[in-house]
Structures are given as C-alpha cells and as structure tokens.
Chains A and B, each alone.
Chain A
C-alpha cells in the first residue's frame, strides 16, 4: 500500500491522466482511478474535491454541469489545454523519480 504523502503527490497526475480519456464527474473519476491502480490509489470525497477545486483554480481542468448516464445532474470535469500541457512534464518528473528510486534500490541491494 502506498503511503499518504506519496499519494498526495501523485493525485494531480492521477486526475489529469484519468481525464485525458474524456470528461468525468467526481465519483466516476474516483472509481476509475481506484480500478486502474488496482486499489493502490483511493480517493475519498474529502480528498478528491478540494484537489479538483484547486486544479480548477489553476485552470488545469474545467467543470461544467451536465446529465450523467443515470439522468442525474452532475458536474463533469474535462482537461483544459493548460492541463494537457502540464501532464507531460508531470509524467516525466514521476518517471525520473521512479527511475532514481529503482537505481537507489539496486545500489542498496548490492
């Protein structure tokens, strides 16, 4: 299980990545992330919405009201061009971090 600190850091990447495939509302987004990470990343309501609002303030995502598949009014979020631009360097940063950790682990094991 991944610790809380790392989860916080990965949350932005997770949200931007999951929205890359199309707009989603909060509940769907949390479920999709949980499914795709096989439960390693779980977003509670308390963790998800403040993060979404902050990312919306930064104009990485944009929320708009619409109707969900079950006919209910839901606020759907979509990736903005700024968010799409942010995704690539964010992925590179995490790739570098994981590569560094992998190298470190190998050194430690030697």
Chain B
C-alpha cells in the first residue's frame, strides 16, 4: 500500500502552516486518499489504477495548497481600522486623561509661569503639568506599539499617538473662537500671546512628549518588520 502521508507531504510541500497544523492537515488528507484508494480497490480496480484515480481527484495541488492556507487563516473578529487606529487611539486618550486627573488630584503641583512677581504684568499665565508631560512618552509608545503591531501605516500610527491632544486642539481652534463670539462670559481681551501659551502648554508640548515616546517605537518596529521580511524571503 502506498504511503499516502508521504505522497501528500510531497504534493503540498512548503504549505504555510505551523508544524502541528501542517501534520494534522497532511494526516487528514492522506486518510481521505487512503479511504478512496481502498474503495477503488474493492471495486476491482488495479492497485496502480486506484492510486492514479485517487490522486486525480485533485486537479491542481498548488491551488489546493493555497485554498487550505487561506481557509486556515484566523479570521480577525475586528476590522483593521479598529485594531490599527481606534483601539490604540482611545487607549492613549484614556490613559493620558487618567494620568492627568490623578496628577491634578494627588499632585505634584503644576509649574505655573511666569512666577508671581514677574516683571511683565500682562504676560500670559501657563499651567504646565510637568509630571504629566513626563508620563506622556510612555502613553505614546504604547499607542504606537499597538497600532504598528496591528499593521498600521505611518499615518495611522502618528494619529494614534497624538490622538489625546486632539480634544485640546479642537478647543483652541474651534471652541475658543466660537466661545469668544457667542459667550459673553468669556473675556474678550485674550491676547495672541496668551493663545499661543495655552496652545503650547496643552497641545504642542504634550504632542511632542507623546511623539518622543511613540515615534522611536514606530521606527524600531518598522525596522524589525523589514528585517524579518527580508529574512523570510
């Protein structure tokens, strides 16, 4: 009797499955061919004829190989956009908000500039949570890692990293101008320097901190991906 497992193994050589999965598939298909062969023999067909007819049940082994590889691939329960962008983005937003809230409640105190008694009376005041800024690179790194691991492009990774500052950016670009026009309680003497100081404290510095942690992670993860691809080819 032919060694069906060896025959199938030869026909499907190079199939892209894990070792355990591959041996199971080969054994299963070999078992099917063996049953077919035995059935053909019992119909009075010669040994050689039965082998040939059993093997002819598969028109193209290469096509079968590809179909099995594609069928055994795990179907991702979440769409790519969710794993590459929304999940890392909302995680970075949540973490940065939680860190900020904890720091505001339990300290340390923010750095307020300029210090009281400064020379320029009209210099705009900025409240900078330095300890929060120091934590943001970790948040950015986590967002970049998750997005890159899910196969996110450079643009998606970037947006996932800076997502936590988008609400502040929206406030400075949309919320504040709209409030100036519509709300009488908002001081109308906000100076341009005050606007930029606020923008720096809540948008530019946090974005830089997030990117300082996230972008190196993206860079190294991309390099690892390229080197593993070239090693696999």
Q: Hey, which bits of chain A sit against chain B, CB under 8 A?
A: 25-27, 44-46, 48-51, 53-54, 57-58, 72-75
Asked whether, in the complex, the Cβ of A46 is within 8 Å of the Cβ of B63, the reply is: yes
Nearest-neighbor residue (CB-CB) of A55 within chain B: B71
Give B31-74 as 1s and 0s: 1 = Cβ < 8 Å from A's Cβ atoms: 11111100000000000000000000111100110011011111
Closest Cβ of chain A to B133, distance in Å, is 45
When the two chains form the complex, which single residue of B35, B60, B64, B73 contacts A27, counting CB atoms closer than 8 Å?
B35
Distance between Cα atoms of A108 and B73 in the complex (Å): 44
- The answer to the question of B184 belonging to the interface, with a C-beta cut-off of 8 Å to chain A, is no
Asked whether, in the complex, the Cβ of A54 is within 8 Å of the Cβ of B28, the reply is: no
Distance between Cα atoms of A46 and B36 in the complex (Å): 13
Asked whether, in the complex, the Cβ of B68 is within 8 Å of the Cβ of A27, the reply is: no
Asked whether, in the complex, the Cβ of B32 is within 8 Å of the Cβ of A26, the reply is: yes
* Chief secondary structure at chain B's binding surface: helix
Going nearest first, the 3 A-B pairs with the smallest beta carbon separation are A53-B71, A50-B67, A27-B35
Asked whether, in the complex, the Cβ of A44 is within 8 Å of the Cβ of B58, the reply is: yes
Nearest-neighbor residue (CB-CB) of B70 within chain A: A50
When the two chains form the complex, which single residue of B32, B35, B36, B71 contacts A50, counting CB atoms closer than 8 Å?
B71
Asked whether, in the complex, the Cβ of B64 is within 8 Å of the Cβ of A72, the reply is: no
Enumerate chain B residues within 8 angstroms of A49, measured Cβ to Cβ. 25, 28-29, 32, 64, 68, 71
Interface residues of B in 146-174 (CB under 8 A from A): none
Closest Cβ of chain A to B64, distance in Å, is 5
